[in-house]
A and B are shown apart, each in its own frame.
Chain A
Amino acid sequence: MISIEHVSRRFGDGPDAVVALDDVSIEVPRGSIFGVVGQSGAGKSTLLRTVNALERPDSGRVVVDGVDVTALEGKALLKERHRIGMVFQHFNLVGNRSVVQNVEFALEAVGTPKAQRRSKALEMLDFVGLAHRADDRPGQLSGGQRQRVGIARALASKPDVLLSDEATSALDPETTRSILELIQRLSRELGLTVLLITHEMEVVKRICDAAALMETGRVIEQGSLDELIRTPGSRVAAELFPVGEAHYIPGHRIVDITYRGLSADRPIIAQLTREFGLDVSILGAALETLNGQQAGRTRLAVPGDASVSFKVIDRLTAQGVTAWEVHA
C-alpha cells in the first residue's frame, strides 16, 4: 500500500549538511500497522512527511496505492492528500474554532457540500466518542480528547492511509493506551493502512504488525514483529524484551532465546537440562503481549565452552525457538 523506495533527503549543503534520510526503503502492506522507531533526529518525521509530500525527497520515490506521490504537484497533490490522513504529537487543532468546525475544515478541504459537512463531522466525532463536545473549543478538552479530534479530522475525508507522528507522545500511559486502541480499531474496521512513528516501544508492542528501526537516516532493521523476534541479535527485539546488558560469567556462555506463541509455554529449559545434563540458569527474562500474542525473551547462562553452546543453540533452533550466543 505504501512503498517507500530508496528515498534520500539531506538538509543544507557543504560540511554541515544533515543527511536526514539515507536510501530508505520500507514496504507497508495494505491494512497493516507499521511502526518506525528510532532516536531523536533519526529522520523519522522526515520519512513520514515524504509520504504525503510535505517533504520532497532528493532521490527515490514514494508510491501510495499505485500513485507516485513524489511526482505530484498542485491540484493532484491536494487530491492525493485527501486520501492520506495525518495526526500530530501536538494535535495541531485550530484553537479559535470549535471541535466540530475543526473536523468540518477537513471536509471543506475535500469539497463536501456545506449542507452535509456538519452532519458528517458529527458522525466522525461520534466515531471517536466526542460528539457531545462538538461545540467546545479544543482548549477545553484533555490531551487524549484533543488527539481523538485530531483523528476524527484526519479521517473525515475517508482516507486509506493514516500517518501518525508521535500521536501519543504527549499523553499519559492510560490515555496512550486508549488512543492506540482507537487506532487499532480504525485499522481493522476501516481497513486503514497505518504508518506511525514513535519513540515508545510500548506503541510497537501494542498495535504494530511490523516495525523498522532507524538510526541517523538509515533503516537498521525492519520486518514483521515475528520476523524481528526471530532475528538473532535484533535490536528491536532487544528493546521489546529488555533483559539488560550481558555480563561475562567465567566458564559460561550466554545464550538469548526469543519465542512467540505456543513455544512460550513449553518447558524448554527443563528439557535442555534433561537432555544435555546441563545446569542451565536463567539470567533474565521478559514476557510481553505482542499485538495480543504472548512472546518473550530469556537469557540463559550455559556452562561449558563454545561447542556446548553451539549444541544448545542447534537444539533450540530445531524446536522453533530463535537462539543465539551473546558476547559479553
Chain B
Amino acid sequence: MIDVNSPDFWPKLLEVMLEGTWETIYMTAIAMAITFVVGLPLGIVLVGTEQGRFLEAPAGQRWLGTAINRVLGFVVNLGRSVPFIVLMIALIPVTRWLLGSFIGTGPAIVPLTLVAIPFFVRVVEIAVREVDPGLFEAADSLGASRWLLVKRVLLPQAWPAILLGTATTITSIINFSAMVGVVGGGGLGNVALTYGMQRYSVLHIVFVVIILFVLVQAIQWLLTLAAKRFGAVPTRRGGKKAMTDAQAHLDADVPSTRSTTVPQSPH
C-alpha cells in the first residue's frame, strides 16, 4: 500500500507518470512509424493488384499481380485474425532472437508493430478504394507511370482518409501498448498495473486514464486538422463528404478489430 501523505508521494508520482508517458509515446511513435512505412505501400499494392486496377499486371505480368494480391491478402487477414495476446506470446522467441530480450519498452515495439500493420493496411485499403476510378483512367490516358500515378493522384486523394486512419491506428497502438505493460513492457499500462492494481493506488489509475485520454484526444485533433487542411475544400463531388465517409468506414471497422483482439479491461 502506498502512503498518499508521505512527502515524496507527489514528486514520485510525477516521476512515474512522466516516465510512463514517455515510454508510451516512444513505443507508439516507433511502432506507428514502422507501421506507416510498411503498411502504406502494402495497402496500395493490395488494392492495386486487384483485377482491373492500376497494378493488376506489374511488369506486364498479370499472374504476378494475382499472386501478390493473394499472398498479401492472406498474410494481412492472418495478421488481423490473431488475438493480440496470442501474437504477443507467439512473438516472444522472435523478439528475443531479434533484440536479445522480450521484456521492456524496446522489445514491446515488435508485437505492437505487427498488430498495427494489418490494421493500418486496412486503413490504406479503404482510403485507396475511395479514390474515384475516373482519376486512374485520366492518369492512364495521360501516359503516367505507375509511380507518378501513386504520387500525384492516388496519395493526394487518399491522404485525408489516411491521416484520419492514422489517428485511429495510433489510438489502437496506445491501447495495445497498455496491454504490453501487463507483461513487462513499460509505459502507462505498466504504471497502472504496478501502482494501481498491485499497490491499490486509485490516484495512479486516475492519472493514467487522464493522460491516455489527453494523448488520444490530442492525436485525433491534430490529425483531423491536418486531414481537413489537406482535403476539405468543399467540392460538389467528394471533398468533405468523402472524408466523413472514410471516417465512417473506419469507425465501423474499429470495434470489430478491438473486440476480437483487446479485452475490455486490462487484466
* A140–B233 CB distance below 8 A: yes
Instruction: Give the shortest distance, in Å, between B95 (CB) and chain A (any CB).
Output: 40
Whether A90 contacts B152 in the complex (CB less than 8 A), given A105-B142, A109-B142, comes out as: no
Instruction: Give the shortest distance, in Å, between A138 (CB) and chain B (any CB).
Output: 7
Chain A residues within an 8 Å CB radius of B239: 95, 139
Q: Which size class do B's interface residues fall under?
A: 20 to 34
User: Given the complex of chains A and B, what is the CA–CA distance between A163 and B138 in angstroms?
Assistant: 12
Chain B residues within an 8 Å CB radius of A74: 60
Whether A95 contacts B148 in the complex (CB less than 8 A), given A52-B141, A81-B141, A153-B142, comes out as: no
Chain A residues within an 8 Å CB radius of B231: 95-96
User: Given the complex of chains A and B, what is the CA–CA distance between A52 and B239 in angstroms?
Assistant: 30
* B156–A82 CB distance below 8 A: no
* A94–B60 CB distance below 8 A: no
* A92–B142 CB distance below 8 A: no
* A81–B135 CB distance below 8 A: no
* A97–B156 CB distance below 8 A: yes
Whether A90 contacts B134 in the complex (CB less than 8 A), given A73-B60, A105-B152, comes out as: yes
User: Given the complex of chains A and B, what is the CA–CA distance between A52 and B135 in angstroms?
Assistant: 16
Whether A138 contacts B235 in the complex (CB less than 8 A), given A86-B141, A88-B138, A96-B159, comes out as: yes
Instruction: Give the shortest distance, in Å, between B196 (CB) and chain A (any CB).
Output: 45
Whether A94 contacts B235 in the complex (CB less than 8 A), given A78-B143, A153-B142, A157-B142, comes out as: no
Contact residues of B with A, CB < 8 Å? 60, 132, 134-135, 137-145, 148, 152-153, 156-157, 159-160, 230-231, 233-239
Interface CB pairs A-B, < 8 A, 20 = A54-B141, A81-B140, A82-B143, A86-B138, A86-B141, A86-B142, A88-B134, A90-B134, A92-B132, A94-B156, A95-B233, A96-B230, A101-B152, A105-B139, A105-B142, A105-B148, A108-B152, A139-B238, A153-B138, A157-B143
Contact residues of A with B, CB < 8 Å? 52, 54, 73-74, 77-82, 84-86, 88, 90, 92-97, 101, 105-106, 108-110, 137-140, 153-154, 157, 163
